[in-house]
Amino acid sequence: MKIIMLGAPGAGKGTQAKMIAGKYGIPHISTGDIFRANIKDQTELGMEAKKYMDQGLLVPDELTVKILLDRVAKDDCRNGYVLDGFPRTIPQAEVLDKAVEELNESIDFAVNVDVKDENIIKRMSGRRACLKCGATYHIEHIPPKQEGICDSCGSELVLRDDDKPETVKKRLSVYHEQTQPLIDYYNKKGILREVDGSQDMNDVFNAIVAILDGADKH
């Protein structure tokens, strides 16, 4: 099963993608996580991506598309994957379509996690991320067992540099301009499904599972 998670930054794509990956036994692929791992390791790719990420801008398509295509070509993607944060532009979506079509395959669903901008700002300021294993928490809604420490790997949790309110506003405007058009793109292909992302995370997950298991009557 090949799934794309759509939604504004902070809508809960990563939270849901991890749960989907766990339930369906497919890899969770986050281009943001790949960039952050590269920044942490101070690779050339990481240093280049950081310039854009720190300003709330998208990393250029040429760089992003390459890392995504390399990742989905790996063996663990043979039974599918859940993409979180890719595609973010129409050209990225077109490259993905082409790559999937070349394998005579198709994307099953593009799930749009819908959350209003006001709620996004609140979510981002409370988000805490583990840069080691990619786990994400929220200081109020989804707290770790021990404050500031990752439940999964015991590393220290941080407020991402790009989750500061000024950068979040920029990221939201970039989202509306460059990424939101993908909703229409996938709607026209007949694979768009919408979920209300302002619900409790387990309710959002149940709505997604109903869609993926075909119980959804759209």
Q: Is 123 a residue of the active site?
A: no
Of residues 107 through 166, those in contact with ligand ADP by CB under 6 A are: 123, 126-127, 136-138, 141-142
Binding interface with ligand AMP (CB under 6 A): 9, 30-32, 35, 52-53, 57-59, 64, 85-88, 92, 162, 171
C-alpha distances out from residue 98 to 92, 93, 160, Å = 10, 9, 33
20 token code pair: 């989907």
Q: Which residues contact 182 (CB under 8 A, 6 or more apart)?
A: 6, 87, 88, 89, 90, 93, 110
Walk across the sheet containing 28-30 and list its strands: 28-30, 81-84, 2-6, 109-114, 192-196
Considering the candidates 2, 18, 123, 127, report the single residue annotated as catalytic.
127
* In contact, 20 and 82? CB cutoff 8 Å: yes
Catalytic annotation present for 36? no
Note whether 28 binds ligand ADP by CB under 6 A: no
According to DSSP, the β-strands at 192-196 and 157-158 are: unpaired
Identify what 12 binds: ligand AMP, ligand ADP, none; CB under 5 to 8 Å per kind.
Answer: ligand ADP
Strands 127-130 vs 2-6: parallel, antiparallel or unpaired: unpaired
Q: Is 193 a catalytic residue?
A: no
Alpha helix (H) residue ranges in 103-146:
117-126
Annotated active-site residue in 2, 13, 18, 123: 13
Q: Which of 3, 6, 13, 67 binds ligand ADP (CB under 6 A)?
A: 13
Give the residue with the Cβ less far from ligand AMP, 16 or 30. 30
Cα gap 142→53, rounded to integer Å = 25
Indicate whether 205 belongs to the interface with ligand ADP (CB under 6 A).
no
Least separation in angstroms between CB 186 and ligand AMP: 15
The question of whether 88 is a catalytic residue gets the answer yes
Distance CA 205, CA 113 (A): 10
Q: Which does 11 bind (CB under 5 to 8 A by kind): ligand ADP, ligand AMP, none?
A: ligand ADP
Q: Does residue 2 touch ligand ADP according to CB under 6 A?
A: no
Q: Does 35 bind ligand ADP (CB under 6 A)?
A: no
Which residues form the catalytic set?
13, 88, 127, 160, 171
Residues that bind ligand ADP (CB under 6 A): 7, 9-15, 84, 123, 126-127, 136-138, 141-142, 200-201, 204
